[in-house]
A and B are shown apart, each in its own frame.
Chain A
Amino acid sequence: MAAKSSLKNMALCLTLVCFFCAAVLGGVYAMTKAPIEDAKQQALLNSIGMVVPEGGEISEMMTGEFGSLSFEYYKSVADSKTVAYAVKSTVIGFGGPLELMVGVLTDGTVYATKVLSHSETPGLGAKCTEEGFASQFRGLAPEKKISVTKDGGDIDAITASTITSRAYSLAVFNAVELVKSLQGEELDAWSGATPASENNENKEEQK
């Protein structure tokens, strides 16, 4: 049967058990730390890879500001030239935050979009993850705010999910605006210097 419930026994037992469990946990944690990091990196690279043209090398994460919002973004670099940006754009959707990865080319055209996370209603707003809706954004080069047909724009909203559709459009638009402002800053940095391909990387880092 169980040991006697004296204070000494109880304290000893609890301490030993906690100690042993902490040791086991520490060990498993150390073992899995690297695979967990790898898994996260892999997932990130996958989602970026889906929204930018193939063949580029993905840069480290950078942060940029546009308006009052800050964004995380990554560059896709090929032949030491930035080919596209992958921007993590978050807006408030219908049921919660809607997080997109938007791939934008250097000329301000949307390459592709992917939903990273959402809390939208299944069968309604959740359809924003489907190709039928997302494909409308490919190749868009928006001059003004992207809007749904109800607001005078070109995007076909998801049936009965105008709010989600509007949020999605806003997220994509914000990403494009960010890229345009980043490009603008880069052009400003270059003006007045001789653009040689070795200098380009230095100029971008100076920013």
Chain B
Amino acid sequence: MEYLLIIISAIFVNNILLSQFLGICPFLGVSNKLSTATGMSGAVCFVITLATVVTYLLNKYVLLPLDLQFLQTIAFILVIAALVQMVEIVLKKISPSLYQALGIFLPLITTNCAVLGVAITVVTKEFTFGGEAHLLNLGEATVYALATSLGYGLAMILFAGLREHLAGNAVPKPFKGLPIALITASIMAMAFLGFSGIV
């Protein structure tokens, strides 16, 4: 039951893009085509989940016992950079077509605030799922990361769909491109606000 709450909260109530504002750069930059948006979401989903697990373990078994929390930022980002590098190498070997399709976006996931953001949130923020406010354990953290990235994908795909439609319509010149996309995003954010309070 607790896991269900985590999932609903991460996908809808505190959607990483429309509520926490993490991962906005690719959200605005990659969402003009539905196919690239889907590919990007999949890659991000995988990296966020994997990175969260690894950084959680690093934090718990290395940083905390050695009282090295001030190295958290630098340690986490290095882990993420290394992970993305490894994912690139593995992907190139097992699925060259997907690797080609993602192109430049794969290394860019390193600088995606969502990845580092989720990694840090999971080890610092106290959550109230299933009772008193507490820090997440590994299982909860993994589910949270997975659900968060599903929420990311959901928002990306919805947005890309909307943008593809917009591209075919008559938008006033000053609004063309990014401004109208932002206004669309604002209406989406308003819609997602309606989910607040259900968990």
A124→B35 CA distance, assembly (Å): 40
* Selected A-B contacts with CB under 8 Å, 19 pairs: A21-B74, A22-B71, A25-B70, A25-B71, A29-B70, A69-B132, A90-B132, A90-B133, A92-B133, A94-B196, A94-B197, A95-B196, A95-B197, A97-B126, A97-B128, A97-B133, A99-B133, A121-B196, A163-B197
Assess whether B128 is in contact with A96, with CB atoms less than 8 Å apart: yes
- Smallest beta-carbon distance A43→chain B, Å: 17
Interfacial chain A residues near B196, Cβ < 8 Å: 94-95, 121
Contact with B along A3-21 (1 / 0, CB 8 A): 0000000000000000001
A167→B153 CA distance, assembly (Å): 34
Interfacial chain A residues near B128, Cβ < 8 Å: 92, 96-97
Interfacial chain A residues near B133, Cβ < 8 Å: 90, 92, 97, 99
Interface on A for B, CB 8 Å cutoff? 21-22, 25, 29, 69, 90, 92, 94-97, 99, 121, 163
A21→B70 CA distance, assembly (Å): 13
Interface on B for A, CB 8 Å cutoff? 70-71, 74, 126-128, 132-133, 196-197
- Smallest beta-carbon distance A70→chain B, Å: 9
- Smallest beta-carbon distance B53→chain A, Å: 24
A8→B119 CA distance, assembly (Å): 32
- CB-based A-B contact count at 8 angstroms: 23
- Smallest beta-carbon distance A169→chain B, Å: 18
- Smallest beta-carbon distance B13→chain A, Å: 8
A165→B74 CA distance, assembly (Å): 41
Q: Which residue on B lies nearest to A125, using beta carbons?
A: B197
Interfacial chain B residues near A69, Cβ < 8 Å: 132
A97→B128 CA distance, assembly (Å): 6
Q: Which residue on B lies nearest to A70, using beta carbons?
A: B132
A29→B128 CA distance, assembly (Å): 32
Q: Which residue on A lies nearest to B68, using beta carbons?
A: A29
- Smallest beta-carbon distance B69→chain A, Å: 10
A121→B194 CA distance, assembly (Å): 12
A25→B128 CA distance, assembly (Å): 34
Interfacial chain B residues near A22, Cβ < 8 Å: 71
Interfacial chain B residues near A99, Cβ < 8 Å: 133
A8→B74 CA distance, assembly (Å): 24
- Smallest beta-carbon distance B136→chain A, Å: 13
Q: Which residue on B lies nearest to A69, using beta carbons?
A: B132
Interfacial chain B residues near A90, Cβ < 8 Å: 132-133
Q: Which residue on B lies nearest to A121, using beta carbons?
A: B196
**What 9 A-B pairs are tightest by C-beta distance, nearest first?**
A97-B133, A92-B128, A29-B70, A97-B128, A90-B133, A94-B197, A97-B126, A96-B128, A95-B196
Interfacial chain A residues near B74, Cβ < 8 Å: 21, 25
A163→B199 CA distance, assembly (Å): 12
Q: Which residue on A lies nearest to B70, using beta carbons?
A: A29
- Smallest beta-carbon distance B145→chain A, Å: 18
